[in-house]
Amino acid sequence: MKHYEVIENALIHIENNLSSPLSLESVADTFNMSKYYFHRLFSAMMGCSLNSYILSRRLNTSLNFIQNNHMTLTEIAYQLSFGTQASFTRAFKRHYGITPSSIREKAIAISPVQIPSVAKRPIKNINGDIVTDFTLMNFEAIRLSGIVFEVDLATDDYRKKIRSQAKLLLDNIHETINGPCFVVYSDCQPNSTQFKVLFGIPYDIQINKPYYFTVDVPQLFCAKFQYSGDLLEIGDILKSDYARFLKISRQEAENSHIELIQVFDNVHQLNAEYQVYTPIKKLPIDSDEKV
């Protein structure tokens, strides 16, 4: 069984047993793994500890119980293994910023969320730590032609905007054009939610419409990661993976206006696996500290 399949099955197992005592050891035993390795694997794949994840899913499940109003808060706490109503209320308020009793009194609706998907990506072991697999390499300079636009993560429709602009590019290139597609995310300033996106291909295409440009992307020293799944849906996982990579590999992020580059092998298959390149500083590596 592949490592991401283990975690996928673990999430289902947890969801089906939220009313039972769950521990790192009991979940690891279910999959015949040592609790130490399972803990490292789960944290690397999900970006949080197993205990934090279980707590979040119990609180998520409690929303239906609270809003259906068929159980007392004490009964809900007991049903979901919180022990006491007080501990349940404290955990709920820390997570949602409001007490469960306030939800009932004010008829506030909070929608439960589905089991999160597991981002499919290879992993590697570095001195006992598990990290998303990476390669340190040069991203070669390239000239791209395509559509450029701005996105604000603070708006609800940014995912829709990015996808619609990708479709706009595909609608304006000939189906005989094959090869890779590049998505360049850049110019995200500190404490800002705005950044620029370029959807482009390494062809000299001329499209007589607004926002179509030819852009020269410089050579960059990068960490390369491999993913499968919608980058817009696994963005938080990518950030967690990148932070973990920097810590474990002892690398430093480059101060570049380019945040990351997403590369698909085929411009007509944007639902396939892709590579992510993130600029990092090219540091001298001591012979005893090679990754």
pLDDT, tens digit, for every residue of 214-234?
889 999 999 999 988 776 677
Percent of the chain with pLDDT strictly greater than 90 = 45
Q: Mapping DSSP to helix (H, G, I), strand (E, B) and coil, where does residue 59 land? A: helix
Regarding whether 190 and 96 lie in a shared domain, the answer is no
Q: pLDDT tens-digit profile of 159-201? A: 788 778 888 887 877 766 778 989 999 876 667 778 888 888 8
| Boundary (domain end) residue, out of 89, 115, 141 | 115
What CATH number is attached to the domain comprising 51?
1.10.10.60
Q: Is 86 a domain residue?
A: yes
Does residue 270 share a domain with residue 174? yes
d(C-alpha 26, C-alpha 201), whole Å:
49
Residue 66: pLDDT band with limits 50, 70, 90: very high
* Residue that finishes a domain, picked among 52, 85, 115: 115
Domain match, 154 and 214 both: yes
**pLDDT tens, position by position, 4-53:** 899 999 999 999 999 999 999 999 999 999 999 999 999 989 888 999 99
Q: Looking at the structure, do residues 199 and 226 belong to the same domain, yes or no?
A: yes
Residues 245 and 149 in one domain: yes
248 part of a folded domain: yes
pLDDT of residue 291: 46
My answer on whether 151 and 67 are in the same domain is no
Q: 55 and 178 in one domain?
A: no
3 state DSSP class of 277: strand
Q: Does residue 57 sit in the same domain as residue 163?
A: no
144 and 271, same domain (yes or no): yes
Q: List, for residues 70-114, the tens digit of each pLDDT value.
A: 899 999 999 999 989 999 999 999 999 999 999 888 878 889 999
Nearest to 168 by CA among 220, 121, 120, 205: 205
Number of helical (H) and strand (E) elements in the chain, helices listed first: 9, 10
Pairing of strands 274-279, 258-264: antiparallel
Answer yes or no: is 286 within a domain: no
Residue 238 located in a structural domain: yes
Same domain, 100 and 177: no
Residue 70 falls within a domain, yes or no? Answer: yes
What's residue 119's pLDDT?
83
Q: Are residues 106 and 11 part of one domain? A: yes
Give residues with Cβ within 8 angstroms of 115, minimum separation 6.
Answer: 11, 12, 15, 57
Q: What separation in angstroms does the CA of 265 have from each of 76, 137, 174, 183, 276? A: 50, 18, 17, 12, 12
In a domain, 184, yes or no: yes
- 179 and 266 fall within a common domain: yes
Question: Which residue segment(s) compose the domain that 268 sits in?
Answer: 132-279
Q: How confident is the model at residue 151 (pLDDT cuts 50, 70, 90)?
A: confident
Query: Of 213, 211, 285, 227, which Cα lies nearest the Cα of 260?
Result: 227
Per-residue pLDDT of 250-277, as tens digits, reads 899 998 889 899 998 888 777 778 899 9
Asked if residue 289 has pLDDT above 50, the reply is no
Examine residue 90 and state whether it is found in any structural domain, yes or no.
yes
Mean per-residue pLDDT over the chain, rounded: 87
Q: Is 36 inside a domain boundary?
A: yes
Domain boundary among 90, 115, 140: 115
207: CATH:
3.20.80.10
| Residue 286, pLDDT above cutoff 50 | no
Please state the domain count of the chain. 2
